[in-house]
Amino acid sequence: MTTMGKVGSLSKLGDLRRLLRYVAPYRWSLIAASLLFLLSSGLFLAFPAISGQLVNSVSGMALPFSPGEIMLALVIVFVLRALVDIVSQYLLNRTAESVTLDLRSDVYRHLQKLGLSFYTARRTGELVSRLSSDVTVVRNALVNNVATLLSNILSVVGAAALILMVNWRLTLVVLIVLPAATLIAVGYGRAIRPLSRQVQDKLAESSSVAEEAISGVRVVKSFGREEYETARFETAARATFRAALRLATIRSTFGPLIGLMFFFALLAILWFGSQEVSAGRLSAGDLVAFLLYGSIIAGSVGVLAQIFSQLQEAVGATQRLFEILDTPCDVCDSPHARPIGVAQGRITFERVSFAYESGIEVVRDVDLDIAPGEIVALVGPSGAGKSTLFNLIPRFYDPTGGAVKLDGVDLREITLASLRANIGIVPQETVLFSGTVRENILYGRLDATESEMIAAAQAANAHDFIVDLPQGYDTPVGERGVKLSGGQRQRIAIARAVLKDPRILLLDEATSSLDSESEGLVQEALGRLMQGRTTIIIAHRLSTVQIAHRIAVLDKGRLVELGTHNELIARDGLYRRLYSLQFALPDEDIGALPADQTDSVLFGSPASPLQYRA
C-alpha cells in the first residue's frame, strides 16, 4: 500500500471512530437491538434444519416427531421471529433518529459559530444539502446497517458451520466462492466511494442553483429569466443524474454478480448433492437443509455486499460533514476573553488593517476614536472600505493588523455574546424571518414583555401599521418579509433594535431605497433610536451625513479626512472635490444646494450625478 493509501485508510478509520462516538450514548439500545437481531438470525437458521426433518418425516424416515408437530414448530419459530423483529426494528429506528438528531444538531451548531468568511466561500444550498441528504446517508449506513451487519455475519458463519456438519464435501463448494466474492466487494468498494462523493457534491450544487433562483424570484421574474433559470437547474440536475447513473450502474451490477456466483455454487451443490443422495451418503432432507443453508449464505453475502456498498457511500458523506465540523472558527472567544456589562460606547480603531483571503488589504492603517454617544458617518466611493470597517465592530471579522477596542479593551478580549449584546444593527437590506411580526420584533430580546414590544414598535413608527394587519402582531410576514413593504420591513427592523436597547448602533443607511413617506417615518424612528447611543453610519445620502457629529472619509482603504461637513467643505480635499463633482458646481457655489434633496453616487447610492445638473 502506498503512503497516500495508508493515510486515506487512517483517515477513514478516524472518521468511523468519530461517527461511533455519536452512537455511544445509545449503545444499550443498539446492543439490545443487535442481540434481538442475532436471536432473529438464530431462529431463521433453525428453519432449514426443521424443514429437512419435515422432508425426512414425509419421506418415511423414523423420527420422534410427526409432520404436524414439525409444522407447528415452524409456525412457532416464525411467529416468535416476527415479534423479535418488531421490537428490534423499533429500537434500531429510535437509535437511528437519535443519532441523526445529534449529528445534524452538531453540524448546525458549528455552522452558527463560524464567521462570515466561511459563508462568503460557500453557497446556502450546498450547506443545506449537507445538513439534510448527507446526514441521512450517514444515518442509513451507520445505524441501520450495524445490526443488519451483525445479523448477516451470524447467518453466514452459522449457516457455514451447520452445512459443515451436514456434509463437509458440499461445504468446500461454498467456501470456494467466498474469497472470490470478497475480492469483488473490495474492488467495487473502491469504485463506489469516489462516485458517491461526486453524487453528493452534484446534488449540493443543484440544490444551490434552486435555492438561489427561488430566493431571488423577483429578480428572475423582473428580467424574464424563468427559462434561463430552468435551463440552469436542468444542467445541474443532469450533472447529478449522470453521476448518480454511474453510481447506480456499479451498484446494480454488484449484488447480482455476487448472487450469480452463489447461484452457480448452488447448482454445483444440487448436482453434487444428488450424487451423494444416490450413493447413500446424504439423505434427501439433509440435501434440502443444505440447499436452504446455502441460500441463506448467498442471501446474507448479497446483503453484506449492499451494506459494504452503502458504507462506501457513507464515507463520502461523512467526509463532507466532518469538513464542516473540522472548519476552525476564525472569529471566536479566546481562552482569556471576559464578558462585559453595559458598555460606555467608546470605539477606537488603532492602526487597523484588514485583508480578505486574497491577501489584498481593503483597509490600511486606520486610526479613529469615536466618543460615547457620538454619531460618525463613514463616506467614500465604492470599495473604499466602509463596509469592512463597519463589520469589524461586531467582530464579524477580526483585523489582520492593529486592534479595534471598546472602552479601551481589545474586542478579541471580550466574549462575543457580551460584545454583540451591546450592539444593534439596522442594515440597508432588512432581513426578516418567516414567522410573525411579533416573533421578528422579539428577536431583539426574547424575554421582552408585551408592553415592551409594543413600546418598541411605537418608537419605530411601526405600531399603527401593525395593528392594521389582518392578525396584528401575529400576522405572518412571509419568507424574508415578502408580505410587507420595504418601509414596513425597515420599521420592524428598527423596532427589533429598539427592543434590544443597544449601547452602540450600526446603521447601513436604511432609507436609500424607500419612498418619501416611508423615508420620513424611518428617519424619525432612527432619530429616536440614535439618541444617546454611539452610532456609526454608512452614509448614502448627504442628509444623513449632515446629522453626523463627524464624517470619516475613506479612500482605497485609508482614512483620508475627518471632520464635520462644514470643516471638510472648507478644505481643498477629497470630500470637497467629490461634493463639487457630484453637483457640477463651481467652487464659489459649493454648499449652496440643499443636501437633503440629493443622493450621491460618491457615497454609494444608485442615483446618477447627471440628474442634478439641470
Give the residue numbers annotated as catalytic, written as ranges.
509
The SS3 call for residue 351 is strand
Which residues face 366 on adjacent strands? 352
Which residues face 378 on adjacent strands? 538, 552
In degrees and rounded to multiples of 5, residue 585 shows phi and psi of: -105, 145
The alpha carbon of residue 600 and the mean position of all alpha carbons in its chain are separated, in whole angstroms, by: 39
Which residues face 550 on adjacent strands? 376
CA-closest candidate to residue 386, choices 534, 552, 548, 549: 552
| Contact assessment for residue 327 and residue 118, using Cβ atoms and an 8 Å cutoff | yes
Cell numbers describing residue 579 = 461634493
Which residues, 6 or more positions from 474, have their beta carbon under 8 angstroms from its beta carbon?
436, 437, 438
Cell numbers describing residue 414 = 471580550
Cell numbers describing residue 45 = 437458521
| Contact assessment for residue 518 and residue 490, using Cβ atoms and an 8 Å cutoff | yes
Q: Are strands 401-406 and 409-410 parallel, antiparallel or unpaired?
A: antiparallel
Which residues, 6 or more positions from 124, have their beta carbon under 8 angstroms from its beta carbon?
208, 211, 212, 215
| Contact assessment for residue 199 and residue 230, using Cβ atoms and an 8 Å cutoff | no
Burial class (CB in 10 A: 0-12, 13-18, 19+), 401: middle
Which residue's entry shows cell 468568511? Answer: 117
Count of CB atoms situated within 10 Å of the CB of 215: 14
The Cα 506–Cα 389 span in angstroms is 11
Angle, helix 67-113 to helix 3-23, in steps of 10 degrees: 100
How many C-alpha atoms does 97 have within 13 Å on its Cβ side? 5
The Cα 408–Cα 367 span in angstroms is 14
The SS3 call for residue 599 is coil
| Contact assessment for residue 392 and residue 399, using Cβ atoms and an 8 Å cutoff | yes
Which residues, 6 or more positions from 268, have their beta carbon under 8 angstroms from its beta carbon?
173
Cell numbers describing residue 401 = 493588523
How many C-alpha atoms does 399 have within 13 Å on its Cβ side? 25
Rg (CA), the chain: 35
Angle, helix 516-530 to helix 486-500, in steps of 10 degrees: 10
CA-closest candidate to residue 305, choices 139, 152, 134, 162: 152
The sign of the dihedral angle between the CA atoms of 500, 505, 511, 516 is: positive
